[in-house]
Amino acid sequence: MSRASDSRADGARQRAGSERRDPSPPQANANPASLSPRAGFEGRIALITGGSRGIGRALALSLAARGALPVINYRVNEQAARATMEEIERLGGRGHAIRADIEQLEDLERLFDEVASRFGRLDFFVSNASASNFRSFMELKPHHLERTFNLNVRAFVIGTQRAVELMDAGGRVVVLSSYGAIRSFPTYANLGAAKAALEAWARYMAVELAPRGINVNAVNGGIIESDSSAYFYSTGRVPPLETVLPKIPKRRMGTVQEVADCVLFLLSPAAEYVTGTTLVVDGGLTAIAPPFHADIPLGDAVAASAGERGHHTDL
Q: How is the beta sheet containing 171-178 ordered, strand by strand?
A: 96-99, 69-74, 45-49, 124-127, 171-178, 214-221, 278-281
Catalytic residue among 74, 179, 188, 250: 188
Helix or strand holding residue 215 (H, E): strand 214-221
Cα 98 to Cα 180: distance, rounded to the nearest angstrom: 29
Residue 280: how many other CB atoms lie within 10 Å:
20
Amino acid, single-letter form, for residue 292: F
Burial bucket for residue 251 (CB in 10 Å: 0-12, 13-18, 19+): exposed
CB 219 within 8 A of CB 278: yes
The HSE-up count of residue 112 (CA atoms within 13 Å, CB side) is: 32
Catalytic residue, candidates 74, 195, 233, 273: 195
Active site residue 195: yes
Q: Which residue numbers are catalytic?
A: 188, 195
